[in-house]
A and B are shown apart, each in its own frame.
Chain A
Amino acid sequence: MPHKSLAILGVLLAAFPWVSGEYYVNLTSQILIAAIFAASLNLLVGYGGLPSLGHASFLGVSAYFSAWLYLKLGLAHWVTAPAALLGTTLMAGLFGLIALRATGLGFLMLTLALSQVLWGTAYRWVSVTDGDNGLRGLTRPSPFGMNLDDATAFYYFTLAITVAAMWLMAKFVSSPFGAALRGTRDQPRRMAALGHDVWLVRWITFVYAGFWGAVAGLLFVYYNKYIHPSSLSLITSAEGMLSVIAGGSGTLAGPILGAAIIVILKNYVSSYIQYWNMLMGFVFLAIVIFMPQGIVPGVRDWWARRRQ
């Protein structure tokens, strides 16, 4: 049962700050944020068969929008957070109209193009974004009087949102709608002949994925208290995609595991090994060679074969 193993993982994560120092608590917060991001992308890539290379758009715009509202308009967090989520989700609706004119490689190129436009805008529209300096001077919100500047408090805040996000996304893919979504991935023509509105199913999924991408973006900007155009870059989108592929696309646990691998390699290993990018390359090469389906399906198959 994937739900059961996710619940066990949740309990372990809840106990984690008791046995660990601040550094690892912060590292795990970053993993959780990356996991929401990757899991939302997985709805498109894994369950919808729609490879997007522009998912950073939602993380970046949500982060920038809330930061801009806070810094330049002086609005409170309880206003900026819902406004950023709403604004980004509306943008996802618009982007979906454009990107879903195609599927496959065409969809990939359109999502990439849209996110590159945003990335360029973030660099050049200095009056709004402060360009290459990024927006700095942000604070974390303090919901219900919690001081989120404390690493452990922020960790629990992030964990609670991650659990809710994963739970809702798991519900989404195991619902009738999720079954239809997988159907449109495998046999779109047949699904249309059966009465399913293939385009609308994809568009709704695109918007939903965009919403969770925006949630990840909010947590991301709260964690860093800073946002830079690089968050809108192709690298951010590609890291999400790598997380999904490495962990196992179309599985619930895959993107979480993939995100953990990427964040650990990026943050932890990079402080010891100068050529960490090369190491990351080797790790992914090994995954693709030995478990082309990703780690989660790979281990599952290996386990099934061993038990036979």
Chain B
Amino acid sequence: MTPALQIDGLCKSFGGLPAISDVTLAVAPGERRLIIGPNGAGKTTLFNLITGDLARDAGTVSLFGADVTRLAPHQRAHRGLARTYQIITLFAKDTLEHNVLLSLLGLSRVRWKTLAALTRHADLYDEARRVLGLVGLQHLAQRPISEVAYGEKRRVEIAMALAQKPRLLLLDEPLAGLSREERAAMKDLITGIPREVTVVMIEHDMDTALDLAERITVLHYGKIIVEGTRVEVVADPKTREVYLGD
């Protein structure tokens, strides 16, 4: 089967310092892949190379069998790629509803309309509210982002990604900064993502994240040092050495 994500010989350096060196990996459709590694291992850089936020030095990125290495980030989004951010990147002054609307607009031809008011597009508003319902935030739809709690912002991040009905979803530390209860709720949310969606997740919270993953990739200094099933990776001495600690 054609992999959802195929990366070959990907390299990226910042001022001579390699952040990602010769990374090759393939993620099968529908797979749940966890990427772990110590701080500075290059996990977020890898995401930024997949989305096109950063230009690669060498190597290729393919989505669903198509080479997207030379495509801009917005073109990759139209190929079914969505992501969330480790550092919350929302439209703070706008309502939750409007945030999800901008996500829906991103893939809709409606975004080029300059004469009809946005508020005329009731179908978009209905869909935005439905998606907020999926993450349990429908009751806060009219609140500005700046007035809701941190845990709720994390859920809006997920809602904006889900709104696009992506085929490949990159989650960058979706559990970061959440309380124990919030983490459990977020875990349920991620578990509930339909199987058609391939999920690649960076996460530090091992207790929660290991349960979510089928395969795990361990990055260290920009290189893949271990890759395999949960059991294989946890058992591998190299994993223990660099990440799980003594």
Contact = CB atoms under 8 A, between A and B. Distances in A.
Interface stretch (A56-64, A95-103, A195-203): A195-203
A192 B73 contact: yes
A194 B114 CA distance: 19
A110 to B, nearest CB: 21
Interface string A197-217: 110000000001000000000
Contact of A179 (B53, B82, B89, B118): B118
Interface string B135-153: 0000000000000000000
A171 B115 contact: yes
A57 B73 CA distance: 33
Given A171-B117, A174-B119, A175-B118, A193 B111 contact: no
Nearest to B83: A193
A198 B74 contact: yes
A194 B103 contact: yes
B173 to A, nearest CB: 16
Contacts of A171: 114-115, 117
Which of A175, A186, A189, A195 is packed against the most chain B CB atoms within 10 Å?
A195
A180 B116 CA distance: 14
Interface string B84-107: 010001111110001001110111
- Size range of the chain A interface in the assembly: 20 to 34
B198 interface: no
A175 B114 contact: yes
- Size range of the chain B interface in the assembly: 35 or more
B105 to A, nearest CB: 6
Contacts of A208: 114
B117 A177 contact: no
A174 B117 contact: yes
Contacts of B103: 194
Which of A175, A194, A197, A198 is packed against the most chain B CB atoms within 10 Å?
A194
The prevalent SS among residues of A at the interface is: helix
A124 B75 CA distance: 46
A183 B89 contact: no
Interface in A164-182: 171-172, 174-180
Interface of B: 51, 53, 72-74, 77-78, 82-83, 85, 89-94, 98, 101-103, 105-108, 110-119, 121, 160, 164
The 3 lowest CB-CB distance pairs between A and B, nearest first, are: A195-B106, A194-B106, A195-B77
Given A186-B94, A194-B102, 13 more contacts: A171-B114, A171-B115, A174-B117, A175-B113, A176-B105, A178-B114, A186-B92, A187-B91, A189-B73, A193-B73, A194-B105, A195-B78, A208-B114
18 contacts: A172-B114, A174-B117, A174-B118, A176-B111, A176-B116, A178-B118, A189-B73, A189-B89, A190-B90, A191-B102, A191-B106, A192-B72, A193-B83, A194-B74, A195-B78, A196-B102, A196-B111, A197-B72
